[in-house]
Amino acid sequence: MDNHSLENQKGHGGETHGQGNLVQILIDGRYAMLPKGRYLVSDLKQKLGVPADYELDRVEHGEFIPLADTDYIEIHEKELFVSHVRRGGAS
């Protein structure tokens, strides 16, 4: 494959999803299938049906890792995510 063909497969911002194999992930206790690849977190939330004003956390080894909407994330097989209402500041 030449570089021009590879560039045509990439989305805005270097996203590379949509060209790989489908992988299964778990989001909020339900399974979803996505093409393996790199996603902008805000786009991933939309694809997974997570409200835009919610936070999305990746769960790794029992630890919740918050993801900013402007971050990019690489999706692989059997990942676990949890969405929740954004935590507010001091009250």
Q: What's residue 2's pLDDT?
A: 35
**What average pLDDT does the segment 17-36 reach?**
87
Domains and CATH numbers, the chain: 3-85 (3.10.20)
Predicted confidence (pLDDT) per residue in 46-85, tens digit = 999 999 999 999 999 999 999 999 999 999 988 999 999 9
The pTM of this model reads: 0.73
Is residue 36 within 8 Å of 17, Cβ to Cβ? yes
User: Three-state SS across 35-66?
Assistant: ECEEEEHHHHHHHHCCCCCEEEEEEECCEEEE
